[in-house]
Structure 1
Amino acid sequence: MLYDDAFLALLSDGVRRVLPEWGLPPDTPLRLLTVSENATYLAEPPSGTIALRVQRPGYNTEAAIRSELDWLAALRSDEVVRAAAPIPLERGGFLARFDAGGVEMLVAAFEFLPGAPPDEVGDLTAWFDQLGEMTGRMHHHARTWPKPQGFTRRTWDWEHCIGPEADWGDWRAGRDLDAAGLAVIGRAVDALRAETQAFGRSAQTWGLIHADMRPGNLIAHEDRLAVIDFDDCGWSWFMLDFAASVSLMECDPRYDAFLGNWLEGYRRATPLSAANEAMIPSFVMIRRIQLTAWAVSHAETPFGQRVDRAFAEDTVALAERYLTHHA
């Protein structure tokens, strides 16, 4: 378990030590906002709140983080989406570092956007129209944006999502999965490998995606959405972005409305082929199996602690449905 109380105490102390890198005194009011892949803190000086993201050690390289920030800067400067601006250090650059018990930690700071996640503001179903349009704009930008030299991000393909050496761990370790459930998901995993290999990768199906635009990484303010936390952005099938947006909502009775609104918004921003649309259920299945592994490898997080037998049962049911209709 990474984010136990002792390690979080080290992180809090380390964040305070690097606050002067952004011109803030070490005694600036500071509180832990959330723990997920990374630990995020809020510093609250009189000049305005900023978010400080402490990178999970070993997850993204320094070059990958710089590449993330390059894409974020391009999306903002090209006015593609509303997104939180990275805040540079006073000496230049965007990454501070500190030692936490012999582990080097990297910290990036971002403006704190007003608003709340869309699932806390009004009708989430209605927000999916705007989310689809925003996602379409991002995909169109990704196809045309000239990547800077040295740009590097992880790949979210079958191998890295749900293969034996997947980035988030082995789905077979998922809690509350019995032998029968493991067998069903295993058949789905094999079918998804064959299906994604046949689908292939082209300029219209594959590119740079956010990969985690679930409601918790969106900010609704007045009538507009903003997107935050590009930490998982990488190379994948474009439609995996929808799958990420419905994380943990795959069995929600509103799912069809989410999808219909998202597609309508997406097509206002950029064309979408029938072949891409037909693959969406497969990517939703990949994401769900991927989350099964994440809940184990990140067991100390709120999501990891929330996963229960019902999650496992729903995952098996989704795999059975996938095998019936799509394999």
Structure 2
Amino acid sequence: MTAELEQLARTALGAYELGDRATLRTLEIGLNAVFEVRAGSARYVLRVHRAGYRTPAHVWSELTFLRAVGDDPEVPVPIETRNGGLFVEVADADGQRHSCDLQTWLDGRVLVPGHGLGVAGVHSLGQGLGRIHNAAEGFSPPPGFELPVWDADGMFTTEASPFRPTLGIDDVLGPEDRDLYDEVADRTRAVFEKLGRGADAFGITHQDYILGNCFLRRGHGGWQVASFDFADCGWGFFLYDLCPLLGNLAGYPGAIFGNPAYPKLRDAFLAGYRTVRPLAVEWEQHVPLLIAARQTEHCLLTARPDVSPTPAQDAAWRVSLARLSLELPV
């Protein structure tokens, strides 16, 4: 599989003005295959998207948004093909078409609690997400713009899930876990209804703003943040978008399971966010629930045997993290 994906990547590179000596190195094989590209002194990231996951319209819209963001916040910028496109499509041996795109390289390191990430870095991560949300609120979608919707239906129903699960939720969860799944879904739906869909609460969200998708580097005046992997971005609730990284800080999942420093780090993250964007204090009461929602939502991602070889075990693990998340302090 890796060799086939690498061949797809090499074919895609032919659509770009990189010269004949561009080199390719595998970085990650996950939902998408990600490669480092070197062309002379320049470095890029090439993504080969999983077939049948994001539509070409989704990929174009994601890249259109990233191009509009600029450099504050710092995000990868798509490189145009020689024909002026934002991505190309390449067919594999089975005839399945994969969208492929080339993006600018970002510098920095992934840091986690206990391994270089402290209060100051977490504060900067909060600022980084606030800047993404500001850019989203100020963005005017062009004609043809189309992204998945991460509302309660998209997060918790098989039919509407952007993860496109091939198994039903009852195929991966037992009765007790299904009860908790439904409870979290119902409570999350109620919170979203309270938030409403005004421009201050609902817009384009990263949807996977986790420690593993943020680079940190020291610069003048403190930590600089670069955010990447917008492959799940869509229309969603800004409050929810805070919660995947908060779950990391708590240790669900994260470097330190049940991290005792979570309250201090949570406060730093929210304070950083508030330096660039308002966040009502009363909405903090919903954070433990929405961290749990992140875990239960991912049961539908594991409900794809091509993503998870052990979907039932992985879904049960996600529900176990949801139970712990509901007990987090506000």
Which gives a bigger RCO, structure 1 or 2 (Cα 8 Å, sep 6+)? 1
Distance, in Å, in 1 between the alignment partners of 2:244 and 2:321 is 17
Within-5 A mapping of 1:248-259? 248=248, 249-250=251-252, 252-253=258-259, 254-259=261-266
TM-score normalised by the chain length of structure 1: 0.83
Distance, in Å, in 2 between the alignment partners of 1:150 and 1:275 is 37
Distance, in Å, in 1 between the alignment partners of 2:116 and 2:295 is 26
2:296 is matched by which residue type in structure 1? I
2:103 is the alignment partner of 1:110: yes
**Partner residue of 2:47?**
53
**Partner residue of 1:65?**
59
Decide which of 162, 167, 170 is 2:162's aligned counterpart: 167
Q: Is the 8 A contact 1:185 1:316 kept in 2?
A: no
Q: Note the C-alpha offset of 1:265.
A: 0.6
Q: Is the 8 A contact 1:137 1:269 kept in 2?
A: yes
Q: Is the 8 A contact 1:16 1:27 kept in 2?
A: no
Q: Is the 8 A contact 2:27 2:35 kept in 1?
A: yes
2:244 is the alignment partner of 1:271: no
Q: Note the C-alpha offset of 1:161.
A: 0.7
Q: Note the C-alpha offset of 1:301.
A: 6.5
2:91 is the alignment partner of 1:99: yes
**Aligned pairs, number:** 313
Q: Note the C-alpha offset of 1:214.
A: 0.6
Structure 1 residue runs of 5 or longer lacking an equivalent are: none
**Partner residue of 2:321?**
314
Q: Note the C-alpha offset of 1:236.
A: 0.9
RMSD: 3.0
Structure with a larger share of its residues in helix = 1
Deviations 1:154-202 (A, max 9, x none): 111010011242233355444xx54323323333323333343344322
Distance, in Å, in 1 between the alignment partners of 2:300 and 2:116 is 31
Q: Note the C-alpha offset of 1:25.
A: 6.0
| Distance change >3 Å, CA 184–CA 311, structure 1 → 2 | closer
| Distance change >3 Å, CA 178–CA 184, structure 1 → 2 | same
Distance, in Å, in 2 between the alignment partners of 1:47 and 1:303 is 42
Q: Is the 8 A contact 1:130 1:262 kept in 2?
A: yes
Q: Note the C-alpha offset of 1:310.
A: 5.4
Deviations 1:18-38 (A, max 9, x none): 222223467743232112321
Q: Note the C-alpha offset of 1:292.
A: 2.7
Structure 2 residue runs of 5 or longer lacking an equivalent are: none
Q: Note the C-alpha offset of 1:14.
A: 1.7
Distance, in Å, in 2 between the alignment partners of 1:244 and 1:302 is 23
Decide which of 38, 41, 44 is 2:38's aligned counterpart: 44
Q: Is the 8 A contact 2:126 2:273 kept in 1?
A: yes
Identity level (%): 25
| Distance change >3 Å, CA 48–CA 271, structure 1 → 2 | same
Decide which of 75, 87, 97 is 2:79's aligned counterpart: 87
1:84 is matched by which residue type in structure 2? P
